[in-house]
Chain A
Amino acid sequence: MTDLDPRITAAMHRSRPRNAAKVAREGLLTVGAVLGVLCLLALLASLALGVRPMVFRSGSMAPAIPTGALAFSHETKADDLAVGDIVSVITATGSRVTHRITEVSVDDGGVATLELQGDANASPDQEVYRVEHVDRVFLSAPRLGYVVGWLSGPAGLFLLGLYAAFLLSVLVKGSADSTTRPPRPGPPRSGPPRSGPPRSGRRRRRAAVPGRPARRRQLTMFGATVVLGVGGSFVSVPAAWATWTDPVPVTGTTLATVLPTAPVVVCGTLQIGSVTVNWTPVPSATGYRLFFGTGGATTVDVAAGVTSRTFTGTTGTFSVRAIFGTTSWLSPTSNSKQYSSLAGLLGTCI
């Protein structure tokens, strides 16, 4: 690209018109033009057909589409989707995921509910996607994504920039060595007038048309701007983040609440003027509610460690319920005992 300087180019032309630099320059121009036309055609085709290129940044679709693949998709209506299609959707977090359809159902409104799973994933995606239309992959090429990625990186952009600068210099100053032709009437040209050897027929013919180089240059620059603008506006390779997922189930946890059982009341020690009643402890009980007095109308809550009650100088009916955690969780009522512990008499318990 050292031949950017028109004076050097002109000097080379003077001394050895067919030297290596010129051949390289011509080759670069021709190859670049061919590739450029191909790229523009591909661009136009993709714009017309709604084709979208994608780079795969991870390998959850391997081996069908490995990491670094370049794939092409086009927009497909929900009705045309089938299990097994590889589609590209936007997740709730805004990233693009390209996975295979494992389940699809289309409602009356033409909205498809998709369950997707990467071929290399053990489970389907957690998110269920609802789409009216979706990008379906129809072609993929392994490794080409790396090329695209490299070209978008610093080194690639630098090389492309150099190439673009070279092309622009050809566009702007491409006719610089035409100033070597003898002066003729017409608007002044840039660059110092020089004399030189006879030029090729092509250039002579081009040079034979005087005037309007400035206007032609403007038109050319306009065209270049349009090309770059169109390319910049519409060409995109959305990176397809074919998400890996890896589920780990943790099973074996069982929780059960207590099934409350009623305590059993038994008569305890009978003494003069007092009666003791006991009840069987209930597992998991956090306390007991005692019913005693006439008709069992009096209630008292006691702690879980208490399993007996002594009555002195009273009569009544005794029963008990176990409390579990809260006083709203009570066991069924136990059996009842009639007790009598009047003063001076031996207590009774039936």
Chain B
Amino acid sequence: MTDPAAPRRERLRSPRLRALLGLGLVAVLGTTGTYAAWTDNAVVSGTSISSGTIDLRVDNQDSVPAYTTLNLATMVPGNSTAGQLTIKNNGTAPLKYTATTTAGNADGKGLGAALVVKVSSGTVQGISPAATCSGSALAGTESTLGGNLVTTGRLLQPGATETLCIQLTLPLAAATSLQGATTNVTLTFTGSSDIS
């Protein structure tokens, strides 16, 4: 290419030039995914592509429409109710699950907000209205209804199960305005393939 008389076509055929241009391919292809590994390596190591499915089950169901274990009709301050739920990853990919709760307040008395929740991995002790969950509350779980319950995602490998014990307590200090109050509680467990 230092010869001004050389035809352009011949210059393009220079092995060096072609090798140089070929390096573009290496540069572009060789670095793809590297950046992803830097920012996402907590999600999936490297750039592997997972094509699994996740299927979260609670008590081996995709929805639990009539969970009455925690029901209490005539709570008084100090009463507690407890029940166990079995969370299962029925899919083929690992998942992390979280849980949220809603507590209805149709009568405006705010019973849901007054109840104290405990999530442990223990078992139910005693009987309603004095049933409790053994063990201490799990890390990353909340103690009130109407929002996050299991905030920190809990990892479940494919096929794995975990039993949670949920305890609801009406504190002794409950206000007298809560007499005759009712709340409908919904727990929603959400599995996510995002296991970072």
**Chain A interface mostly:** mixed
Bound-state Cα–Cα, A209 to B65, Å: 86
Provide the residues of chain B in CB contact with A145, threshold 8 Å: 49
Nearest chain A CB to B48 CB, angstrom units: 7
Q: Which of B25, B44, B51, B69 is close to A67, meaning CB atoms less than 8 Å apart?
A: B51
Pick from B15, B19, B51, B75: contact of A58, CB under 8 Å? B51
Q: A67-B51, A325-B77 are in contact. Are A91 and B194 (CB under 8 A)?
A: yes
Is B51 a contact of A68 with CB atoms below 8 Å?
A: yes
Q: Are A33 and B17 in contact (CB under 8 A)?
A: yes
Contact partners of A36 in chain B: CB under 8 A: 21-26, 28
Min CB gap A203→B, angstroms: 10
Measured CA separation A238–B16 after assembly (Å): 32
**In this assembly, does B183 line the interface, its C-beta being within 8 Å of a C-beta of chain A?**
yes
B31 within 8 A of A: yes
Q: How far is the CA of A209 from the CA of B5 in the complex (A)?
A: 12
B3 touches A257 (CB 8 A): no
Contact A258:B74 (CB < 8 A) given known A30-B18, A239-B40, A250-B189 = yes
Chain B residues contacting A19 (CB-CB under 8 Å) are: none
Which residues does chain B contribute within 8 Å of A270, judged by CB atoms? none
B189 touches A247 (CB 8 A): yes
B180's nearest neighbour on chain A, judged by CB, is A259
Q: How far is the CB of A224 from chain B (nearest CB, A)?
A: 5
Hey, what's the 0/1 contact readout for A136-160 against B, CB within 8 Å counting as 1?
0000000001101101110011001
0/1 string, A162-175, CB within 8 A of B gives 1: 01100110110011
Interface size, chain A (Cβ < 8 Å): 97
Interface range, B side: 35 or more
Query: In the complex, what's the smallest C-beta–C-beta distance from B47 to chain A, in angstroms?
Result: 5
A251-B65 in contact (CB<8A): yes
Is A81 interfacial (CB-CB < 8 Å)?
A: no
Report the minimum CB–CB distance from A332 to chain B (whole Å): 11
Apart from A36-B24, A241-B44, A250-B188: 15 A-B pairs, beta carbons within 8 A: A32-B18, A32-B22, A40-B27, A94-B39, A126-B190, A152-B33, A206-B14, A250-B64, A253-B69, A253-B71, A256-B180, A256-B183, A257-B170, A257-B181, A325-B170
Please report B residues at the A interface, Cβ cutoff 8 Å: 2-3, 5-6, 10, 13-37, 39-40, 42-44, 46-58, 61-79, 81, 85, 91, 93, 95, 98, 100, 111, 115, 168, 170, 172-174, 176, 178-194, 196
For this complex, 7 residue pairs linking A to B, each with C-beta atoms less than 8 Å apart, are A58-B193, A167-B23, A244-B53, A245-B190, A254-B183, A284-B76, A328-B176
